[in-house]
Amino acid sequence: MTQPINNEASNAPRPNRPGGGLRSSAADYARTAKGVLFSSMFRYIVRRVIWGILMLLVVSALTFVIFYLLPAGDPAAIRAGRYATPARIAQIRHQLGLDRPVYYQYWVYMKALVVHFDFGTSFKTNLPVGGEIFRRLPVTFSVAIGAVIIWVAIGIPVGIISAIKRRSWLDRVTMGGSLVAISAPVYWLGLIALFLFSKDVGVIKVFGGSGSYVPFFQDPGAWFSSLILPWFVLAAAFTAFYARMVRGNLIETMNEDFIRTARAKGLSERRVVFRHGLRAALTPVVTMAGLDIGTLLGGAVLTETVFNIPGIGRLAYDSIIGSDLPMIQGTVLFGAFFIISANLIVDVLYAFLDPRVRY
Amino acid sequence: MTPEPPASDNAAATSRETSKSSSALLEIRDLHVHFRTRDGVVHAVEGAQLSVERSQTLGVVGESGSGKSVTAMTVIGLTRFPNATISGEIEFDGIDLVNLPDNQMRSVRGRRIAMIFQDPLSSLHPLYKVGWQIVEAIQTHEDVSTSEARTRAIEALHEVGIPSPEKRIDSYPHELSGGMRQRVMIAMALVLKPDVLIADEPTTALDVTVQAQILDLIRRLKDEYGTAVVMITHDLGVIAELADEVAVMYAGRVMEKAPREVLFTSPELPYTWGLMRSIPRLDAPRPDRLDSISGMPPSLINLPPGCPFHPRCPYVMDVCLTKEPELKQSEPGHLVSCHLEIKERQQIGRDLQTQYRS
């Protein structure tokens, strides 16, 4: 978006401008105003980062507590195997440190994490949790990015069209359809998609099925084919939700007084909708999208499980089934980290999207 | 994306030369605006008649829902909703605005007829700098460079009395005071030197001292540019300040029309009397409670038969219940729509005024 009055340009020093005196004082004014903004924003960010770290501490402690409070499989017994003797189980319990008090276990865990950035090792596989999560990060990222692109590329335009053509058949059909898409659970939609389109069991055998994921750098074509169904299944509810949100926001915005002003200025209806209406209507949508992307980066548990994609979501699911506490901790902390970061980024972004917001 | 080049230059719609015509610059004749809604047809404007000349100010008064704003919005084509029926004539400088195609309407709107609104904060886009918004208005109608438009925007801000406009042009609306915002709106409306400025309650959202400043500003700019002003308000004080001619609207109709002095010295319509009685006055004995017009403004869906004011009129007669009065000349330049005898209502009007003026 280039604006007729470009703020970067007007803030840059312009030595050879006619009437330079006045201009440069205006530029100085703008620069200092911006400087103040940034320093106060910097303080704000520091404060938020500290809060974020505290939040992660709370999350990790809660995960520990919940793990021990809620009935779950005994990790030692699971690791020992089916026909283990009680003595063997006790031995394993001791090895894993599970015979120590919970607060002590938490202390050991946090010490390793803070001092060595060590997320511990899996109870089940003995693999380092950190390495396992980082290995799976690109997978989860692949799942998230495609879904985001789909929902933004479909949801926002559909919302705009529905808002403009309000009460038309197009609006009714898309909004009715979106209700279905929002209501359809991922595990149901995922199975339907697999039964219809997957290469192995599908009616029309086109896309990769469950468990067909290959890394992008190994075979981009297969990567794409394996992810197309998960992307659409994951994006379905988001697309519908965003279409409805954009529609609602835009309809509301189009009733604002400043839209009437824009029309009274003699602007074309297209410009009124896109430059004036949409600009205001999309600001909250950007916020929501940021938060949703953050959540997805923490792992799309249902989608990854249904399609057997080896991402963080699938890892979280498996570790919960296997009572694998260090792995659960790791995935929860990663999820929390992404959500907290997304929150912070969105809040900072907001100051740029809406000049009324100051920190 | 930069603002589009000016919309198709249709000669008829955009020529700035005054076409020689006997009628006023802007003349509204027998305007009807109806909206079909779920509850029924809203008769927002019913046979309105108004006219305004260059350098003149027409004041339009009436309660909320009397059709003032709808009339104004209809003039610039902002009521062309799918559920609206608009009939009658709006003639502006020889152009028929009722039937003007949308794209030609757009080049009249903003360029030749500008409008400012009640609440300047919500009427300015909150996310764009005021300069951007003025530049956009200029570039919509004139093919000028952004820097030239910006220079003109600064001039316009200076013109409306905004201090250090070269700084203020980069302000966002929320960084300005209410009075400043309304000045920005006025600058944006007048930067293209329109022939007509429609001001829809421009001072309602402002405090009293700022109101006076804004009215002064509008008056000064009107005299300077020869702009015709349509001042819509429910505040008779504003009318007394500014208007040359006054139209009193009720239930979508113009019920009384007179030059300002005539309206304030010898109003002839029971509704106008009611409006005047309900103004608190410092120079009269203070009554226990302020007079108000009894009853409620009528529903525009189910209008009472006969004269629309009859349910609230203290002078109601039998004929008022069945027959709607016509807007007829009572004295030269003074039009009244009432069944009362001319002599009688002139007497009551004068009594009312002397009662207050003594």
Beta strands in chain B (DSSP E): 26-37, 40-52, 57-61, 84-92, 95-96, 113-116, 196-200, 228-233, 245-250, 253-259, 328-331, 334-336
How far apart are the CA of B76 and the nearest CA of chain A, in angstroms? 7
- Quote the ipTM score: 0.86
H or E element at residue B239: helix B236-242
What's the average pLDDT block by block, 10 residues per block, for chain B (358 residues)?
45 43 80 93 92 93 89 93 93 93 92 92 94 96 95 94 93 92 93 94 87 90 92 90 93 94 90 85 69 82 90 91 91 92 88 65
Distance of alpha carbon B324 from alpha carbon B311, whole angstroms? 13
Q: How deeply is A349 buried, as exposed, middle or buried, from its count of CB atoms within 10 A (0-12, 13-18, 19+)?
A: middle
Task: Closest CB to B167: pick one of A26, A280, A354.
Answer: A26
Q: Do A5 and B78 touch (CB under 8 A)?
A: no
Q: What values do phi and psi take at B169, rounded to 5?
A: -65, -25
DSSP letters for B301-352: SSPPSSSTTGGG-TT--HHHHH-PPP-EEEETTEEE--SS-HHHHHHHHHHH
Taking the Cβ of residue A193 and every Cβ of chain B, the question of whether any pair is shorter than 8 Å is answered with no
Report the chain A residue with the minimal C-alpha distance to residue B169: A5
Within chain B, how many helices (H) and strands (E) appear?
14, 12
pLDDT of residue B14: 43
Phi-psi region of A19 (alpha: psi -120 to 50; beta: other; left: phi over 0): left
Q: How deeply is A92 buried, as exposed, middle or buried, from its count of CB atoms within 10 A (0-12, 13-18, 19+)?
A: buried
Query: B48-87 burial string, b = 16+ CB within 10 Å, else e?
Result: bbbbbbbebbbbbbbbebbbbbbbbbbbbbbbeeeeeebe
Query: What is the gyration radius of the CA atoms in chain A, in angstroms?
Result: 26
DSSP label of B97: S
Identify the domain containing residue A286 by its residue range: 136-353
User: Do strands B40-52 and B57-61 pair parallel, antiparallel, or not at all (unpaired)?
Assistant: unpaired
pTM summary value: 0.82
DSSP label of B133: H
Looking at the DSSP assignment, which residues form a beta bridge with residue B253? B250
Give percent helix, percent strand, percent coil of chain B, each to the nearest 5: 35, 20, 40
Task: Closest CB to A5: pick one of B76, B118, B150.
Answer: B150
Distance of alpha carbon B317 from alpha carbon B325, whole angstroms? 12
Instruction: B34-38: list long-range contacts, CB under 8 Å, 24+ apart.
Output: B34/B84, B34/B85, B34/B86, B35/B81, B35/B83, B35/B84, B35/B85, B36/B83, B36/B84, B36/B85, B37/B83, B37/B301
Query: A121-147 burial string, b = 16+ CB within 10 Å, else e?
Result: bbbbeeebbbebbeebeebbebbbebb
Q: Do A283 and B135 touch (CB under 8 A)?
A: no
Q: What is the greatest pairwise CA distance in chain A?
A: 91
Q: Do B170 and A258 touch (CB under 8 A)?
A: no
Contacts of B167 (CB under 8 A, 6+ apart): A26, A29
pLDDT digits (tens, 9 = 90+) for A177-211: 999 999 999 999 999 999 999 888 888 888 888 88
> Where along chain B do its domains lie?
11-247, 266-285+302-357
Contacts of A42 (CB under 8 A, 6+ apart): none
pLDDT digits (tens, 9 = 90+) for B246-298: 999 999 999 999 999 999 888 999 999 988 888 777 766 666 677 778 888 88
Q: Could you give the count of Cα atoms lying within 13 Å of A167 in the half-sphere of its Cβ?
A: 3
pLDDT of residue A9: 37
- Residue that has been written with the tokens 């195997």 in this structure: A81
Contacts of B147 (CB under 8 A, 6+ apart): none
SS (H, E, C) A166-205: CCCHHHHHHHHHHHHHHHCCHHHHHHHHHHHHECCCCCCC
Q: Do B172 and A266 touch (CB under 8 A)?
A: no
* Mutate: best of B128, B132, B141, B182, partner A, most A CBs <10 A: B128
Alpha helices in chain A (DSSP H): 7-11, 20-69, 75-80, 86-96, 102-116, 129-164, 169-183, 186-197, 220-254, 257-264, 269-271, 278-281, 283-297, 301-306, 312-321, 325-353
Query: B108-122 burial string, b = 16+ CB within 10 Å, else e?
Result: bbbbbbbbbbbbbbb
Distance of alpha carbon A223 from alpha carbon A213, whole angstroms? 6
Residue A31 counted as domain residue: no
Q: What is the greatest pairwise CA distance in chain B?
A: 67
Copy the structure tokens of residue B46.
């019913």
Task: Closest CB to B141: pick one of A29, A257, A266.
Answer: A266
Q: Do B170 and A276 touch (CB under 8 A)?
A: no
Report the chain B residue with the minimal C-alpha distance to residue A274: B1
Copy the structure tokens of residue B281.
């006055």
Taking the Cβ of residue A153 and every Cβ of chain B, the question of whether any pair is shorter than 8 Å is answered with no
Distance of alpha carbon A219 from alpha carbon A216, whole angstroms? 6
How far apart are the CA of A123 and the nearest CA of chain B, in angstroms? 53
Residue A144 counted as domain residue: yes
Distance of alpha carbon B342 from alpha carbon B329, whole angstroms? 10
Contacts of B197 (CB under 8 A, 6+ apart): B113, B114, B115, B116, B189, B190, B218, B221, B222, B227, B228, B229, B230
How far apart are the CA of B288 and the nearest CA of chain A, in angstroms? 39
CATH number, domain with residue A235: 1.10.3720.10
Report the chain B residue with the minimal C-alpha distance to residue A25: B167
Q: Do B109 and A266 touch (CB under 8 A)?
A: yes
Other C-beta atoms closer than 10 Å to the C-beta of B224 total 12
Report the chain A residue with the minimal C-alpha distance to residue B105: A266
Distance of alpha carbon A182 from alpha carbon A245, whole angstroms? 12
Copy the structure tokens of residue B250.
């009720």
pLDDT < 50 regions, chain A: 1-27, 29
In the sheet that holds B84-92, the strands lie side by side as B40-52, B26-37, B84-92, B95-96
How far apart are the CA of A358 and the nearest CA of chain B, in angstroms? 12
pLDDT of residue B285: 67
Query: What is the gyration radius of the CA atoms in chain B, in angstroms?
Result: 21
pLDDT of residue B19: 43
Copy the structure tokens of residue A326.
């260090």
Q: Coil, strand, or helix at residue A140?
A: helix
Instruction: Say how many Å lie between the first and final Cα of chain A, rounded.
Output: 25
Length of chain B: 358
Distance of alpha carbon A230 from alpha carbon A190, whole angstroms? 7
Q: Which residues of chain A neighbour B174 with C-beta distances below 8 Å?
A: 355-356
pLDDT of residue B355: 64
pLDDT of residue A228: 93
- For the domain spanning B11-247, the CATH number is 3.40.50.300
Q: Could you give the count of Cα atoms lying within 13 Å of A331 in the half-sphere of its Cβ?
A: 24
Distance of alpha carbon A334 from alpha carbon A322, whole angstroms? 19
Taking the Cβ of residue A10 and every Cβ of chain B, the question of whether any pair is shorter than 8 Å is answered with yes
The rounded Cα A234 to chain-centroid distance in angstroms is: 12
Q: Which residues of chain B neighbour A271 with C-beta distances below 8 Å?
A: 3-4
Q: What values do phi and psi take at B115, rounded to 5?
A: -135, 140
Taking the Cβ of residue A124 and every Cβ of chain B, the question of whether any pair is shorter than 8 Å is answered with no
Distance of alpha carbon A134 from alpha carbon B25, whole angstroms? 74
Distance of alpha carbon B231 from alpha carbon B183, whole angstroms? 16
Report the chain A residue with the minimal C-alpha distance to residue B118: A257
DSSP letters for B59-85: EEE--TTSSHHHHHHHHTTTT--TTEE
Copy the structure tokens of residue B346.
């002139």
Q: Which residues of chain A neighbour B76 with C-beta distances below 8 Å?
A: 264
